[in-house]
Structure 1
Amino acid sequence: MPPVETAGRRRTPGLRREEAASRCGLSATLYTWLEQGRDISLTARTLALLADGLDLTLAERAYLFELGQRHDPESPPPPPIPAPVPEIVLKSLSAIQTPAYLLDSSFTARGWNQPAISLFTPWHESREPNLLRFVFLIPAARTFICDWEQSARRLVAEFRAETGHTQNNPNQLHLLDQLRQESREFLALWNARDVQAKKGGERSFQHPEKGVLRYTQLNFLYEGQERHRLIMLHTSAQPGN
């Protein structure tokens, strides 16, 4: 097993080594070896004590267990694989002439038609299928989406409304936990507790090649094995027309 190294950065500034060891429930000798980066084998329980005592974030805790090559007993199980989208729905999507895409209840894109791929170039090229993660974690979204702040606020309010329809959905809970950890802006908007039904309306995008494009968005709900929303965009008057 590779050593679990903590040398060079004490997570508890102001505490003596013995105090930090006590806080973690470890012996001073073992804690010293850890700070020195010695090649020692640690159990999952010891790693958990270390993570709790040092107040590691979820990402830091996961990295610690990865270094120690141990399974974190407190890590949640991976979310289930979403149910496949019915073939008839995907065929209907490809038959639409305007940009159209399909979102599941976690706001993950489950299908696109070609006009949508051409329109949402930054989103599609980011290889991030989830709309919320694209908006809050991919920098290109902030220039691609006109009025990004307003759109981000609306999107979070719509996601909160969607979670009310599918309570305790494991995929939604997994996504929510990720976003609250990775985006302070998402966390602030989520804590505002705004709720808004997913409606259409005017949408504007700064396309990297075509400039500002304006659309009117329409939403349609499909209730199958899982809730999906069909998003369609119809061209509005463009600047200068």
Structure 2
Amino acid sequence: MQSEDQRKSLGAFVRARRESMTPEGHDRRRRTPGLRREELAARAAIGTTWIAWIEQGRDVRPSAETLARLAGGLSLSAAERDYLFSLAGRHDPIDLSARAGASAPSAIAALVGQMDWPCYALDPAWSICAANGAARRLFIGLFEYSEAPNLLRYVFAHPAARQLLPDWSGRAARLLAEFRRDYGHGMADPRVTNLVLGLQDESPEFRAAWNAQTVLAREGGERVFQHPDDGRLHFTQHTLSDVERGDFRVVFLEPG
């Protein structure tokens, strides 16, 4: 639910963006800066009253679709759009992550490439969009068939994962509980929903764990692997988020 401060901040932001826009025709006789409310309403295909109420910080709840049209009418950048929806307490119906493609953002790819420890990046569907050589060696079989394999599909459907993870059942259940927390933010992404539907058919263990509705934060801690060539390996896992794109994750494993 929106707080009074959020409503006031949202109203001030919308008004400031409206007044910063250049009206069509550049009418120099105008005394008011930027667009008038009725001009923005026409651009956004929403009512003038809605714009007035939002700018006044009234206790109204415009729908996500109304906010999306308002964002388009204001020509907001991705960061401004995210700010608008966060102040309004709504989920953006347009999936910006899917529109950006499957490749890792440049800052994330650069960070992964510079790490000596095993390091990889996850996109919103938890497909691995960047991985260094140490990660490719550690996760035996993960990159066998695809350059962008999915971490959940690997753990639940690849036989090598059961050998690599000594406590497979516990690790798999925790991984899925951590994924569910992100799933709540990525349900508009067809890659995310298709992954869940597919794994429910592929893996009885996935289906049972998914139906358990367990949710956990993605936390670090000790991780043990039984590698076929390197033997038993101990790491401390660290996860970074909000690295250029908040819907991506960077995971690295510090040798123990």
Query: Bigger CA drift: 167-176 or 206-215?
Result: 167-176
Pair 1:121-2:140 in alignment:
yes
Q: Does 1:104 align with 2:123?
A: yes
Partners of 1:184 and 1:121 in 2: CA distance: 23
Aligned residue type for 1:233? L
Q: Which runs of 4+ in 1 moved over 6 A?
A: none
Matches within 5 A, 1:6-45: none
With normalisation by structure 2, the TM-score equals 0.58
Distance 1:98 1:149, change over 3 A: same
Distance apart, 1:165 and its partner CA = 2.3
User: Deviation at 1:101?
Assistant: 0.4
Task: Give the number of equivalent residue pairs.
Answer: 158
Q: Deviations over 1:181-217 (max 9, x none)?
A: 1111100000000000111111111111011101000
Is 1:94 the counterpart of 2:113 in the alignment? Answer: yes
Partner in structure 2 of residue 194 of structure 1: 214
Deviation track 1:82-126 (CA, whole Å, cap 9, x = no partner) reads: 343222321221111211000111111000111111222232335
**Separation (CA, whole Å) in 1 of partners of 2:160 and 2:140:** 10
Separation in structure 1 between the aligned mates of residue 249 and residue 192 of structure 2, nearest angstrom: 15
Q: Is the 8 A contact 1:109 1:131 kept in 2?
A: yes
Q: 1:176 aligns with which of 196, 208, 211?
A: 196
Structure 2: distance between partners of 1:224 and 1:81: 13
The equivalent residue for 1:232 is: 252
> SS of the counterpart of 1:121?
coil
1:208 corresponds, among 211, 223, 228, to: 228
| Post-superposition offset of 1:158 | 0.8
8 Å contact kept, 1:200–1:219: yes
Distance 2:255 2:154 in 1: 23
Q: Deviations over 1:37-84 (max 9, x none)?
A: xxxxxxxxxxxxxxxxxxxxxxxxxxxxxxxxxxxxxxxxxx878343
> Which whole-Å CA distance do the structure 1 matches of 2:232 and 2:157 have between them?
22
Q: CA deviation at 1:167?
A: 3.2
Cα displacement (A) at 1:222: 2.8
Verify the 8 A CA contact 1:122 1:144 in the aligned structure 2: no
Q: CA deviation at 1:169?
A: 2.0
Report whether the alignment pairs 1:154 with 2:155: no
Distance 1:153 1:176 in 2: 14
Tell me if structure 2 keeps the 8 A contact 1:135–1:152. yes
| Unmatched tracts of structure 2, length 5 or more | 1-97
Q: Is the partner of 2:215 in helix, strand or coil? A: coil
Alignment RMSD, CA only? 1.9
Aligned partners of 1:223 and 1:215: how far apart in 2?
22
CA contact (8 A) 2:108 2:250 kept: no
AA matched with 1:136:
F
In structure 2, the CA distance between the partners of 1:83 and 1:130, relative to structure 1 (3 Å rule), is: closer
Calculate percent identity across the aligned residue pairs. Answer: 38
Distance 1:92 1:80, change over 3 A: closer
Are 1:203 and 1:214, in contact at CA under 8 Å, matched by a contact in 2? yes
Q: Which amino acid aligns with 1:107?
A: W
CA distance in 2, matches of 1:107, 1:150: 19
Given that 1:104 and 1:226 are in contact with CA atoms closer than 8 Å, whether structure 2 keeps it comes out as no
